[in-house]
Amino acid sequence: MDVRKIVLVVCDGMGDRPVEDFGGKTPLEHANTPNMDLLAREGSTGVVDIIAPGVTPGSDTAHLSLLGYDAREIYTGRGPFEAAGAGLEVRPGDVAFRCNFATLEDGVIIDRRAGRIREGTEELAGVLDGMEIEDVKVLFKAGVEHRAALVLRGEGLSQDITDADPHETGRPVLEVKPLKPGDTKAEKTARILNTFIERSHEMLDNHDVNVARREKGLPPANIILPRGPGMVPHIPRLEDRTGLRAAGVVGVTLIRGICWLTGMTLIEDRRFTGGRDTDMMAKARATVEALETHDFVLVNIKAPDLAGHDGQPREKAEIIERIDEAVGYIYRHMPEDTILAVTADHSTPCGFMEHAGDPVPLVIYGRGHRRDRSQAFGETECSSGGLGRIRGKDLFHILYNMAGRAEKFGA
């Protein structure tokens, strides 16, 4: 049997809507994308409802779906993926949170991001990491700028608690409470979290890093505000589920967390920044290399989403043109039987500046596989493509079938 490898390129937030300045074309349609257009001519296109029609996906639920998982079943919140992506070795049963370093003065939060602190957070995090409260162990790690991740590990914890973050300045930190009174697990988790926040202030307020910041007139990073709690779900490894040796070529923390929690090999490089300045050709080369030892490679490129959130269609089109070059490199250098798919995890229309539930364009190329009549890669062309309109979690099965790996159901 003819067993092949698979590359899935996810252009974060690439889906868009018509832009007036582009004569009604989308950024993808306006961009000059000779390589993705070639894939459309030699392969088939379609559109994907990542979760379901009209449902707006997050990047985390979207990637789970694209990997063939049922996000509605396993997703408990962003915390576990952020924590895993930040490098905390989360385990099923842990409760994980996203956190900010913030500034507390006279009992109120005066800066939710501690002046977007850039240096010293690792030292501050080191003070908190390993703390024990009752029988619960605290894992804490700094992320980019003011961001951090927190994990509580112990028996009888719950994610069903209220938020500590007041989400605006000039207000005190909120007391964490169970969502339902009488829920003993939530009561315990709330009590521990309140203690953690209180101690974080005690331990950080006069830390050298903050003494120095005050001297420079910068707001001290003297309290931790956790949010977005989620119990770490049990997620079967992608390889155990499918037999595919899988690798992720990713930069952004959240998607790193997805790859880590699905048991994929993480391929990292300081040039994969997760920002606009990411080195796309380096990602393309890493993808082709990864194919030597892996059966499935996921590539995530975050930059189009950033331009979408900022409402910058011209920048988005330029980013897409750079992605097109990287896709061309992969197409020309991958083993010739590889199945190559390009899609997005969600739409981030520049005119909307947020994730939207519009379906995303998809192109799949595989030598010897069916072609349709598509002539280019874009939202309009894909909407009448031969793959039709599919769901995110079906895409993985379609690629798996094209790779000659699907088992027969029945005889």
DSSP 331-390: HHHS-TT-EEEEE-SSB--TTT-S-B---EEEEEE-TTS---S--S-SHHHHHTSTTEEE
Number of residues that bind a second copy (CB under 8 A): 67
Rule CB under 8 A: which of 250-279 touch a second copy?
A: 254
Please give the order of strands across the beta sheet that includes 265-267.
265-267, 246-249, 296-301, 6-11, 339-343, 360-365, 44-49, 388-391
- b/e 300-310 (16+ beta carbons within 10 angstroms → b): bbbbbbbbbee
Which CA distances in Å does 366 have to 148, 374, 403? 41, 15, 8
Tell me how far, at minimum, the Cβ of 134 lies from a second copy, in Å. Answer: 29
295 binds a second copy (CB under 8 A): no
- Quickly list DSSP for 250-276: --SHHHHHHHHHTTPEEE--TT--SST
Q: Which stretch binds a second copy (CB under 8 A): 145-153, 271-279, 304-312, 351-359?
A: 351-359
* Of the residues 132, 175, 370, 375, which one makes contact with a second copy according to CB under 8 A: 370
Stretch that binds a second copy, among 6-14, 55-63, 120-128, 212-220 (CB under 8 A): 55-63
Which CB, 228 or 243, lies closer to a second copy?
228
Q: Is 71 in the site for a second copy (CB under 8 A)?
A: yes
Shortest Cβ distance from residue 60 to a second copy (Å)?
A: 5
Q: Which of 166, 228, 243, 311 binds a second copy (CB under 8 A)?
A: 228
What's the CA gap between 371 and 379, in Å, rounded?
18
Alpha carbon separation from 397 to 2, 33, 292, 369 (Å, rounded): 16, 27, 22, 15
Q: Which of 122, 167, 354, 375 binds a second copy (CB under 8 A)?
A: 354
Contact status: 23 vs a second copy (CB under 8 A): no
Strand 44-49 and strand 136-142: the pairing is unpaired
Name which of 177 and 371 has its Cβ closer to a second copy: 371
Residues in the chain: 411
Task: Indicate which single residue of 69, 75, 296, 377 sits in contact with a second copy (rule: CB under 8 A).
Answer: 75
Instruction: Choose the stretch contacting a second copy; rule: CB under 8 A; options: 178-186, 283-291, 327-335, 398-406.
Output: 398-406
φ, ψ (nearest 5 deg) of residue 262: -95, 10
User: 54 or 236, CB closer to a second copy?
Assistant: 54
Binding of a second copy at residue 57 (CB under 8 A)?
yes
Q: Is 241 in the site for a second copy (CB under 8 A)?
A: no
- Under the binding rule (CB under 8 A), the answer on residue 303 touching a second copy is no
Of the candidate residues 6, 38, 62, 114, the single one contacting a second copy (CB under 8 A) = 62
Distances (CA, A) of 363 to 115, 130, 159, 233, 384: 43, 47, 39, 31, 12
What whole-number distance in Å separates Cα of residue 18 and Cα of residue 37?
19
Farthest CA pair distance, the chain: 75
69 binds a second copy (CB under 8 A): no
Q: Is the alpha carbon torsion for 375, 376, 380, 383 positive or negative? A: positive
Binding a second copy (rule: CB under 8 A), the pick from 209, 368, 375, 377 is: 368
Exactly one of 21, 52, 275, 335 binds a second copy (CB under 8 A); that residue is 52
Stretch binding a second copy (CB under 8 A), from 232-240, 281-289, 312-320, 365-373: 365-373
CB neighbour list of residue 270: distance below 8 Å, 6 or more residues apart: none
Q: Which neighbouring-strand residues pair with 268?
A: none
Cα–Cα distance, 148 to 111 (Å, whole number): 16
Residue 140 neighbours by CB under 8 Å, 6+ apart? 99, 125, 128, 129, 131, 148, 149, 150, 151, 224
Q: Contact with a second copy (CB under 8 A): which of 355, 360, 364, 377?
A: 355
**Nearest approach, Cβ of residue 64 and a second copy (Å):** 8
Of the candidates 51, 102, 125, 192, which one interacts with a second copy according to CB under 8 A?
51
Of positions 56, 162, 195, 312, contacts a second copy by CB under 8 A = 56
Q: Does 37 bind a second copy (CB under 8 A)?
A: no
Binding of residue 143 to a second copy (CB under 8 A): no
Residues that bind a second copy (CB under 8 A): 1-2, 17-18, 24, 26, 44, 47, 51-62, 71-72, 75, 77-78, 228, 254, 351-352, 354-358, 368-373, 379-380, 383-391, 394-402, 404, 406-411
